[in-house]
Amino acid sequence: MTVTENPQAQVNSPSQRLRQALTLTALSLAGTHNIRLFDNPRIREIYPRYLLSLYPGTRAAVPLIIAARDAVLNSSDRDSPRSRALAAYYTKRIPEELGHDEWVLEDLARLGISESDVKSHSYPPSTAALVGSQYFYINHGQPVALLGYMGVLEGFPPIESELRATAERTGYPLESFRTLRKHGNLDIHHRDDLNIFLDSAPLSEQDMVLVITNAIATYERAAAMIAEVVTGHPMTILRTERTRSS
């Protein structure tokens, strides 16, 4: 994750508040988590595991947004301006996330990892916590919290030059970085759309506190997940790697 925002910048709008909170969170975690990824000397070993760790969250993206939208539409205040705005935003985002999990599967296939191996993989608790906490909010009447989760996952777009350099260092085909390269472009637009929504939607102060709180927790969980990949947590190791070493 790369952070460029100035944490001392004046904060006024809801989107600025979210970005500053994430900037400060990233700075506070920099010395506590080993989240060096693309500049890691073991990146050739780490990259397939990193892609594998992205798959469940990518696969869950559309179901999460649908669940959040449906929770808004089924709420007691579904006809309020706030709920109408939330439902419209989530509805708009659903088709924009379709098929992204297939990109990850295709990238992994280019690295010699089959779809069956990906789908049979058991993920560490940090991955379950990252996605599962969103269902907790949605199923307990707070679907607005998902905006914070989306703000993290789309708030730090991959950098094209960094991905190209990583492809050269690893010797992996550039085509196996397709998911990240596409998101390097898409996430910029999605981040900007979210910022516009946060600054224009009739969200309450309580809503924004929840969005920011969930964003901070999401960033922390994502950092923990990456740290597990980097440090080689046993549940991040691919089955094919275990087979080769046995």
Classify residue 216: in a domain, yes or no: yes
Residue 20 domain-assigned (yes or no)? no
User: Is there a domain that residue 45 lies in?
Assistant: yes
Residue 230 inside a domain? The answer is yes
How many whole angstroms separate alpha carbon 151 and alpha carbon 166? 25
In angstroms, rounded to a whole number, what is the distance separating the alpha carbons of residues 37 and 157? 14
Identify the domain containing residue 235 by its residue range: 40-245
Q: Look at residue 8 in the predicted model and tell me its pLDDT.
A: 46
CATH number where 231 lies:
1.20.910.10
pLDDT in tens, the chain (246 residues): 444 455 444 558 999 999 999 999 988 887 665 667 888 999 999 999 999 999 999 999 999 999 999 999 999 999 999 999 999 999 999 999 999 999 999 999 999 999 999 999 998 888 899 999 999 999 999 999 999 999 999 988 899 999 999 999 999 999 999 999 999 889 899 999 999 999 999 999 999 999 999 999 999 999 999 999 998 889 998 877 766 555
Q: Which is nearest to 17 in space by CA: 221, 220, 194? A: 194
- pTM for the model stands at 0.90
Q: Are 219 and 26 in contact (CB under 8 A)?
A: yes
- Please report whether residue 213 resides in a domain: yes
List Cβ neighbours of 47 (8 Å cut-off, separation of 6 or more): 111, 166, 170, 172
Residue 5 in any domain: the answer is no
Residue 116 lies in a domain: yes
Number of domains in the chain: 1
| Residue 136 located in a structural domain | yes
Amino acid code (one letter) for 71: A
